[in-house]
Amino acid sequence: MLFKDNRLLFFDYRHIASLDNVSLTLNPPEKRGPCLCIEEPWELGHCRASNVVFYQGEYRLYYTVAPNRERAGADRIPRMLAFATSKDGMTWDRPNLGAMEFDGSKKNNITVTDSPPYAELCVFVDPDCPEEERFKCICHHPWQGLWLLASPDGIHFRKAHDGYILLHGTDNNMTVFWDPTIKKYRVYLRGGDNSREIMGWKGSRCVVYCETGDLTKPLPIDRNAPDPHDFGIERPGLDGKPVRPLPGINKELPRVLGMDEMDPPEADLYQLAGVHYAPDAYLGFPTLYWHYPGPPEGFINDGWLDLQFASSRDGRLWSRSPRASYVRLDRTGGLTWKQMHMVIGMAVQNGSIYQYYCGSKLSHGEGRTPEDRYASKVRQYAEGDPIALRLEQRMDGFVSADSAYTGGILVTRPFTLKHDRLCVNIDTSASGAARAALLDKNGLPIKGFSLEDSDFLQANDVCCELKWRGSSDLGKLKGKTVSLLLKSRSAKLFAVYPEPAAAEEALL
């Protein structure tokens, strides 16, 4: 969990009692460009960022790597896991781990993964387990399924159990984390919706979900679910011989995020990239895949991908409102002008949230033909290519409650004031302004804290103290249940902080 306090966030109406000329608005982050680029020979054959985790005072960005084929002397090279470190989330360095030998030397940032070959993975720090299993890594391969690795230090991983925890093909990065609110692991995987045909292909991508108290045991799925997926189309295995991938997931697990009638029929959705942001706030940044029209023979699996926004209050019921692109593709010729994927995890720094993504100038299946749907153009990795690019989002700035230029009023639902001051995350710019009132349980202004008592507020601040007659002291109201009425014009309200921790963290 990123924040432990009960801050009031406005990505839905959970904390809103009433609105008048106020609307909820999705706020895209600022693109800050590449923050980690290919430099080393073990990164030249494959490089994809996966997760950002915080551990012992620093951030780690885990990414999979492989040397190029000519250097390795093989057609298909198993991927390896590496990581970079950062104190501030902006500047990243490759630590010399001394763990894995490459080209006769252990001077590199490659971890040891005692594991079968994997395609995608998810690394996370588990706060509720023995130290020797502090780091968890869920691995996937389309013709092997899912399995679990564990590590005491995030450097030396070993297989944590015999066998596999799921014998289905899921593909792409999974989201897995321990949730202290339910005392279980939440697992979000790629699924397929067989009922929604897309571009001549039976089924479309979606996000499916399960939860478990033990990741060493098979995930709880409905093994008798109707309409199961067929086994995948044969493709070359690691040894070059044809292999038939495992069937995907249709109804074996509940679908929690997918497409509906508001979405383009050519598109589907997957890769949740979810984060447990606060006790009652789960945020996701799934990939929307818009498919090119396929040939008359059917689906060819090519198209463009960008990043969307999703939110949940309980981790099970998800919404994609407000609905729009959270991160849009670059202009033609840019580093990620045809596809992008969010890296799981965030960094917090100086009132900002840093997020990370990877992408490409190539479309999803560029170079594929009707004769060979797997013959996509192989991406040529080169020194200087970005491994990860950084996004900067205002603290709690994902969605804001925006008052009209002519003015509007927002009233929150009742909350307990746990601090002797009340802070808001707000941007009025120059043309906007606000005044605030505190209301009692009957919805009436509390004496001394009415709109008439309120100080004029004009600010762009992630932690702005509300004041009445020049004072922010709310000591006599601490522990009481109140509502906040904000009367404003042309203002963006991002969050309300009723607890001390929220105000302090917002100033990190």
- Please check whether residue 33 is in contact with residue 414, taking contact to mean a CB–CB distance below 8 angstroms: no
pLDDT value, residue 236? 66
**What's the average model confidence in pLDDT over 494-500?**
95
- Please check whether residue 161 is in contact with residue 148, taking contact to mean a CB–CB distance below 8 angstroms: yes
Residue 234 lies in a domain: no
For residue 90, the enclosing domain spans 30-225+241-394
Q: Where are the beta strands (DSSP E) in 375-480?
A: 386-394, 399-403, 408-412, 415-416, 423-427, 433-439, 460-465
pLDDT in tens, 238-271: 566 777 889 999 999 999 999 999 999 999 999 9
Residue 3 lies in a domain: no
Residue 359 lies in a domain: yes
My answer on whether 65 and 79 are in the same domain is: yes
Residue 330 lies in a domain: yes
pLDDT value, residue 69? 66
Distance CA(271)–CA(344), nearest Å, equals 10
Residue 236 lies in a domain: no
My answer on whether 305 and 446 are in the same domain is: no
pLDDT value, residue 13? 97
My answer on whether 158 and 82 are in the same domain is: yes
pLDDT in tens, 269-288: 999 999 999 999 999 999 99
My answer on whether 198 and 339 are in the same domain is: yes
pLDDT band at 34 (very low <50, low <70, confident <90, very high): very high
My answer on whether 421 and 499 are in the same domain is: yes
Instruction: Report in angstroms the alpha-carbon separations of 141 from 121, 144, 168, 170.
Output: 9, 5, 9, 8
CATH of residue 441's domain is 2.60.120
pLDDT in tens, 107-116: 999 999 999 9
Distance CA(272)–CA(278), nearest Å, equals 17
Residue 52 lies in a domain: yes
Is a pLDDT exceeding 90 seen at residue 121?
yes
- Please check whether residue 214 is in contact with residue 308, taking contact to mean a CB–CB distance below 8 angstroms: no
Q: Which residues sit opposite 55 in a β-bridge?
A: 58
Distance CA(104)–CA(414), nearest Å, equals 64
**What's the average model confidence in pLDDT over 18-42?**
98
pLDDT value, residue 171? 83
pTM: 0.95
Task: Report the relative pairing of strands 58-66 and 46-55 from DSSP bridges.
Answer: antiparallel
pLDDT value, residue 28? 98
pLDDT band at 507 (very low <50, low <70, confident <90, very high): very low
pLDDT band at 293 (very low <50, low <70, confident <90, very high): confident
My answer on whether 285 and 374 are in the same domain is: yes
My answer on whether 263 and 384 are in the same domain is: yes
Q: Give Cα 269 to chain centroid, integer Å.
A: 14
Buried/exposed code over 43-80 (b: 16+ C-beta within 10 A; e: otherwise): bbbbbbbbbbbeeeeebbbbbbbbbbeeeeeeeebbbb
Residue 2 lies in a domain: no
What 3-state class would DSSP assign to 444? coil
Structure tokens at 114: 């005692």
**Average pLDDT value over all residues in the chain:** 93
Domain final residue pick, 394, 414, 436:
394
Instruction: Report in angstroms the alpha-carbon separations of 238 from 101, 418, 461.
Output: 21, 58, 53
pLDDT in tens, 366-408: 888 766 666 656 678 899 999 999 999 999 999 999 999 999 9
Is a pLDDT exceeding 80 seen at residue 298?
no
Distance CA(81)–CA(431), nearest Å, equals 50
Region for residue 273 given its phi and psi (left: phi exceeds 0; alpha: psi -120 to 50; beta: otherwise): left
Q: Over pLDDT 90: what percentage of the chain?
A: 82
Q: Which residue has the higher pLDDT, 162 or 422?
A: 422
CATH of residue 365's domain is 2.115.10.20
Domain final residue pick, 362, 394, 426:
394
Is a pLDDT exceeding 60 seen at residue 71?
no
Domain final residue pick, 394, 413, 431:
394
My answer on whether 273 and 294 are in the same domain is: yes
My answer on whether 357 and 416 are in the same domain is: no
My answer on whether 429 and 302 are in the same domain is: no
My answer on whether 378 and 454 are in the same domain is: no
Q: How many domains does the chain have?
A: 2
Encoded amino acid at 398, one letter: F
Encoded amino acid at 266, one letter: E
pLDDT value, residue 508? 41
My answer on whether 271 and 369 are in the same domain is: yes
Residue 235 lies in a domain: no
**What's the average model confidence in pLDDT over 33-46?**
96
